[in-house]
Amino acid sequence: METSSKSINHSSVIDILTLRYDLSLSSNLPKKSWNDFVPVEENLNLDLIENLISKNIKNNIEKFNIKKLGIALSGGVDSTLILALIRKNFPDLDIEAISIKFSNSVDETPNASKIAEKFQANHHIVHLENYLSELPSAISQVELPFWDLHWYYVAKKSSTLSNMLASGDGGDEIFSGYTFRYEKFLSLTNDKSTPLEKVKAYLECHERDRVPDQELIFAEKSKFSWDDIHQKLIPHFDNSLSRLEQVFLADYNGKLLYNFNPINSRIATNFNIKILAPLLNDELISYGLKLSIKSKYDKNTNVGKLPLRSLLTRNDADSLISKEKLGFNVNTINLWKTFAHETCKEFFDNSRIVKDGWINGEWIKKYIDNPSLNVKYINKFLGLLAFEIWYRLFITKEMKSSEKL
């Protein structure tokens, strides 16, 4: 997305506010085609998976002579497994585990503390009273209008402890962890569904991102078109893969490549730290994507990431993990009530993105003071807030990155 007052990529604006990723970004990871997801019928090789993860860990820690290592620890499957294997391969390494505690949200840090203690890691909890407080600084680093930038706070803390930060990024995309949408997608489609019908069902499954009047958010300059959105996704669903494999393909070539990876890389660069993401090494990606559905995802119990869970059992850490998907998640409804609503009202009272013809001010007026606004609309307002701040930082240049919200 360009940061010139003369030219803004309208397609990027639409993608970020509709899909929550930007297809114009460059990723460090390889884009995959549907052929890369055709399953190879062979027995699951847990030894190979563990060896590939461990090899990547050892290569990076030894290459950069790391004496103290940070790790983003949510308490979920992926980060716990990475911590377990780091400790297994480096019994004497100083490990600094970092978790985030969001105010007025489910607190997963007590469980993360138990995990850190089990694997002899020092545990640091970053308590965020107002998740949005440093959003201008975070946006100035990534140079993109995203609001959900928890990695900024993790990396900021890590930079005071170590020059390398490990994470479990990639577990969901490689080993089928987005189980909350698999069941719904299968219920909305069948084997006779057209590619377009499957695209629409896939978008319907992104419940936190989708509002029914999405097209009304944009003003004329944005040139919003559902057809354009659908055409970007249709190649993922117009092939001979099974329906679930098509979802895996779309997930991999979505937020992972065009949100998480480039954004986290930019933040790490700004804090002068290196990222260690052992689940995203090329060999493991290629192997994991070709595993059969049944070896990664149990349809009957709706539990995913089966190989990683098996490795947790092997490394005596499965009892500490919930079957529910964890992660660094802020309760956006409570965030809206405590900080975000008033912040949005302040910024949109004289909105630059409305004034300059990008966003429909009537849509904002219609919903901003709705006392029962649901999470989908709150997420849209947070996305618009990020766009407004980005616009004031890079286009009108009237805002400083050091400003706190």
Residue 226 lies in a domain: no
Which neighbouring-strand residues pair with 97?
71, 123
Q: Is the dihedral of CA 246, 248, 249, 255 positive or negative?
A: positive
For residues 362 and 217, what is the distance between their CA atoms, to the nearest angstrom?
9
Residue 123 lies in a domain: yes
> Which segments within 54-128 are labelled E, that is strand?
68-72, 94-102, 122-128
What Cα–Cα distance (Å) separates residue 39 from each residue in 30, 102, 109?
18, 39, 37
For residues 244 and 377, what is the distance between their CA atoms, to the nearest angstrom?
28
Number of domains in the chain: 1
Q: Has residue 105 got a pLDDT over 90?
A: no
Residue 104 lies in a domain: yes
CATH (domain of 273): 3.40.50.620
Lowest mean pLDDT among 68-72, 203-207, 333-337, 353-357: 203-207
For residues 265 and 27, what is the distance between their CA atoms, to the nearest angstrom?
9
The per-residue pLDDT of the chain, averaged, comes to: 94
In this predicted structure, what is the pLDDT of residue 1? 58
Residue 344 lies in a domain: no
For residues 348 and 368, what is the distance between their CA atoms, to the nearest angstrom?
9
Residue 384 lies in a domain: no
For residues 68 and 65, what is the distance between their CA atoms, to the nearest angstrom?
9
Residue where the block lists tokens 């701040």: 389
State the DSSP H helix or E strand holding residue 367, giving kind and residue range, or none if neither. helix 361-367
Residue 372 lies in a domain: no
Residue 97 lies in a domain: yes
Per-residue pLDDT tens digits for 348-388: 999 999 999 999 999 999 999 999 999 999 999 999 999 99
Residue among 48, 75, 114 at smallest CA distance from 307:
48
Per-residue pLDDT tens digits for 66-82: 999 999 999 999 999 99
Residues comprising the chain, all counted: 405
Could you tell me the pTM of the whole model? 0.95
Domain range for 77 is: 34-172+251-320
Lowest mean pLDDT among 82-91, 97-106, 253-262, 297-306: 97-106
Residue 152 lies in a domain: yes
